[in-house]
Amino acid sequence: MALLTCKNLCVNYDNFHAVSDINFSIEKGDYVFVVGENGSGKSTLIKTIAGLLKPKSGEIIFGDDTTNKIGYLPQQTVIQRDFPASVYEVVLSGCLNSKGIIPFYTKKDKKRADENIAKLGIKHLKHKCYRELSGGQQQRVLLARALCATKDLLILDEPVAGLDPIVTAEMYKIIKKLNEENNITIIMVSHDIDSAVNNANKVLHMDNSLLFFGTSDEYKESEVGKKFLGGKHNVCDDK
């Protein structure tokens, strides 16, 4: 059974038909880049998969009880960058996704936070204030937080936006390693189509409806892929 399947999915955003008649399935272990023009519905789609928006029609079917095991890293806001908490507190808060009515963190939660802090290479930052970190360090912290919420599915909305090229390359390596070594399914929104075909095994290209969904190799040979890759066409954040 697929990890998740979208069937005839339609989503409105601010009374606009942001996503229309979307159909695709993602398997366990896939690394999917979601790409497309500004305003093409990329972020709307993944917010709906993450449960933050409700479909107007259609459905999202999760396999293996994945619904409550999603790690989500949204686009970061100015307010979030100035959050007055320690790195450890931010990472540990990712465990809240599975806490239910339990009002406290268990030893298992704290161990998981420490493991993910080590996995992201930020042990030396554990007791630092989050708002004092660089942009790249903050993104590692937020990725560690998202990992505390899941062992199955990470949804990342422009995780390298605003980062310099060196830090961007490091983040791509970390994410690819999580996919390959930990078998975590990745769905990532990006404006960088070149990186999509070089890192992911599948590409989902949006233009409010689905322009393309398939392997990276198939995308490179498709009409839409040739158009965007040939033109080195980078696109921006969207709703």
DSSP 19: E
Length of the chain: 239
Q: Are 184 and 193 in contact, with CB atoms under 8 Å apart? A: no
- What values do phi and psi take at 140, rounded to 5? -65, -40
Look up residue 106 and give its two tokens: 């268990």
Distance of CA 32 to the CA centre of its chain: 9
What is the pLDDT, as a whole number, of residue 191?
Answer: 83
φ, ψ of residue 219 to 5 degrees: the values are -60, -40
pLDDT at residue number 79: 55
Name the 3-class secondary structure at 133. coil
Instruction: Supply the pTM of this predicted model.
Output: 0.88
Least confident of 94-108, 135-149, 211-225: 94-108
Tell me how far apart the alpha carbons of residues 138 and 201 are, in angstroms, rounded to a whole number: 27
**Residue 72 pLDDT > 90:** yes
For the chain, give the mean pLDDT: 88
